[in-house]
Structure 1
Amino acid sequence: MSTAPTAQVADDFRALYGTEPDGVWAAPGRVNLIGEHTDYNDGFVMPFALPHSTVAAVARRTDGRLRLHSADLDAGVTELDLDTLAPGTDRDWTAYPAGVVWALREAGHPVTGADIHLASTVPTGAGLSSSAALEVVVALALSDLHALGIPRWKLARLCQRAENVYVGAPTGIMDQTASACCEAGHALFLDTRDLSTRQIPLDLAAEGLRLLVVDTRVRHTHSDGEYGKRRAGCEKGAALLGVDALRDIPYDGLDEALATLGDEAEVRRLVRHVVTEDQRVERVVALLEAGRTREIGPVLTEGHASLRDDFRVSCPELDTVVDTAVAAGALGARMTGGGFGGSAIVLAEATDTDLVTKAVEAAFAAAGFTAPRTFEAVPGEGARRVTR
């Protein structure tokens, strides 16, 4: 099942804590259709929510204690004192929900404690935003239980702050906004500078198309040094070019900007990717709104080449998915997520999906890679309360 069973999560909560949960909430992982490493450059992104979700049964406390448990880990209940929460103090998975509580309280919201039990079907380390789903489901539950009335976009901002400051991972705003704000049957066109959004209809099945997610099973982490190096390089590029963010470099001014950077070869590559990727997002939006969905395929493949060659965040397994899928007749393919592993997406005719899937599996076997996991991605609901 793509969504953790609600009744089981509630039953497990009762067994753990000896009381009833006040409710059950769910928040999805996401796939990014196009727009990679643009969110922390104030650019454009276009994710949609997966049916795979993190589900949380939660009860409010008033004693300043936070109790956390995950059905997916072989560990007991972790109990924390809200007054001692501080960045860098939690070293395992509890940093994500604890960071959300810290961020809420730092923003002045009167969170008084909670008992939380979690279960998730979002694959971890696959570039599908399992951490954002965890953060958003906790934030939404606490906002509801403490009657905070926080708008979804603000919840996403608070979750990003939790991950950036408390966890120490320099992620952008896309993942949390996608989990909080996506709608079923749509991709979310997000301007990460002003957080304006537009829901773009994405009914691939009606057009005889499928979007496959291929999890390479190569695990990655956003808090490692390589992701941070890319972000620092983008910030250096913006500073050298005299702009607030790379978003401010127009596509038709890219050649001039690259010439200005002179011998800064690495920064030049990063700038070229971000500026062209923003333009690719706008192209995909225009094609989808014009009903020319099949034509986005080559744009996806073009984006992968940019991520591979300019941003240098691909890996042999991701390249194998893309090259093999396109050779087998897919309309387009690219890595999705932060890179260095994780997943790729493949757009194909519905009639070709079995052929493409088998070709990728055969290529992985021939290369001696771990067998990939492939599933269809259908745009699902954003975060929501499941039961009262």
Structure 2
Amino acid sequence: MRVVEAFRAAFGASPQTVWHAPGRVNLIGEHTDYNDGFVLPFAVPWGVTAALTPRDDDTIRLLSLQSDSGEPVTLASREESTGWTRYVVGVLAMLGDRVRGADIAIDGDVPSGAGLSSSAALEVSVASALNDVHDLGMTPMELALLSQKAENDFVGMPCGIMDQAASALCEEGHALFLDCRSLGSRNIPLDLASHGLSMLIIDTQVHHEHAGGEYAKRRAECESAARKLGVAALRDVTDLGGALAQLQGDERKRVEHVVAENHRVEALVGLLRAGAVTEIGALMNASHLSLRDLYEVSSPELDVAVEAAVKGGARGARMTGGGFGGSAIALVPLERLDSVKESVSNAYAERGFKAPRFLPATAARGAHRLS
């Protein structure tokens, strides 16, 4: 295994444990997680693998096979971390006195900037490895919450629980129906192939960066609207018309999206459980229009990808992830895959966009030990 060989070369011994955690695609339920709502992600075949051995001192030595230098970074304290190392060190920091230092080698193949949550995969792989070697006895959901806290409190990114929960809890061939308030979850079968369908990821090649402020701004708008409406979170809005009458401007639009999106998640889960997989495309289309017009987190590249995919024969398509770039997903009949790819590629070329990248989205397994 490549990461094990790199660990040995860098640190002079074999790692004590190796864990893999996947990235995710969100089938539907965008920007609902931090509003205590519902989401429906599934894990993707790409992720992050962490090879780890604990240390008896507080030194942290980190090696990323994706770094330009190819050399380990040595941190004498948790406060010294910068860049990608903050996601790793944040997990160690959230564990407090239960752990000390560690030697860690990281290998990842989540397409960078595609909105498939490489950060959550990194956090969950490291958290799972530490849980293993220190025999902490944490459940997958506890590891997800720890990883989210690392990103919120240490990195400074106010994400919800969806990405980390998907990375930790998903099952192969299933999507994870998650209630982000109760943290109750259920894996829902997602058998597209038996219905002659596939889920195609369209990577716009436009790298997104949420920490720049727009993601945090949307969350603040939702929290402000909830306070004005007298509810703990927008998930609690039951009279949408009455709520919208009390709000103006952007807050009004954000509430309309979140409330309707929660309903779309529940409707899509119902269709999957009924075996009506071919019917979920309309909900995907509606979700994208809402994210474009009401939540305003799409981009020209995402909009063109969605429109061209549907024109090329997709049953439905939507942006996935936080937005401002990243990826779209399209529900495509197997016999129309080439047609959809051609339609999107041509639409990008006509507008002078960078050529998109196409990836098959199969529902993969959540975090697991490799050795």
Is TM-score (shorter-chain normalized) higher than 0.5?
Answer: yes
Correspondences of 1:1-388 after superposition (within 5 Å):
7-75=1-69, 76-81=71-76, 84-86=77-79, 90-105=81-96, 110-250=98-238, 253-261=239-247, 264-387=248-371
Instruction: Please state whether the residue corresponding to 1:380 is helix, strand or coil.
Output: coil
Q: Which runs of 5 or more residues in structure 2 are unaligned?
A: none
Amino acid corresponding to residue 231 of structure 2 in structure 1? V
Distance 2:81 2:307 in 1: 40
Aligned partners of 1:273 and 1:310 also within 8 Å: yes
CA distances 1:161-220 after superposition (whole Å, capped 9, x unpaired): 110111011111000000000000000000000100011000111111000001001011
CA distance in 2, matches of 1:213, 1:373: 8
Q: CA RMSD of the aligned region, Å?
A: 0.9
* Alignment deviations for residues 329-379 of structure 1 (CA, whole Å, 9 cap, x no partner): 110000000000000000011110110011101111111001111011000
* Contact map agreement 2:173 2:363 (CA 8 A) in 1: yes
Deviations 1:243-266 (A, max 9, x none): 00000012xx101110122xx211
Residues 170, 222 of structure 1: 8 Å contact kept: no
- Cα distance between partner residues in 1 of 2:303 and 2:36: 27
Structure 1 unaligned spans of 5+: 1-6
Residue 73 of structure 1: how far off its partner (Å): 1.0
Deviation of 1:124 after TM superposition, in Å, equals: 1.6
User: 1:35, 1:365 → 2: CA distance?
Assistant: 30
SS at match of 1:291: coil
Q: Secondary structure of 2:210's partner? A: coil
Q: Secondary structure at the match of 1:365?
A: helix
Any conservation in 2 of the 1:334–1:345 contact (CA below 8 Å)? yes
Instruction: Tell me the distance in 1 between the aligned counterparts of 2:358 and 2:330.
Output: 10
Secondary structure of the residue that 2:211 maps to in structure 1?
coil
Quote the residue 1:3 is aligned against: none
Moved over 6 A (4+): none
SS class of match (1:223): helix
> Whole-Å Cα distance in 1 between the matches of residues 50 and 296 of structure 2?
36
The one-letter code matched in structure 2 to 1:308 is R
Q: 1:91 deviation in Å?
A: 2.8
| TM-aligned CA deviation for residue 46 of structure 1 | 0.3
How many Å separate the matches in 2 of 1:49 and 1:10?
24
Checking the alignment, whether the CA contact within 8 Å between 1:41 and 1:246 is kept in structure 2 is yes
Instruction: Give the whole-Å Cα distance in 1 for the aligned partners of 2:47 and 2:153.
Output: 24
Equivalent AA in structure 1 for residue 224 of structure 2: K
Letter paired with 1:85? R
Distance in 2 (CA, whole Å) between partners of 1:21 and 1:34 is: 38
TM-score (norm 2): 0.98
Equivalent AA in structure 2 for residue 379 of structure 1: A
How far the C-alpha of 1:11 sits from its partner, in A, is 0.7
- Listed one character per residue, the Cα deviations across residues 239-298 of structure 1 (whole Å, up to 9, x for unaligned) are 000000000012xx101110122xx21100000000000000000000000110111001
Identity %: 54
Aligned length: 370
Does the 8 Å CA contact 1:49/1:382 hold for their aligned counterparts?
Answer: yes
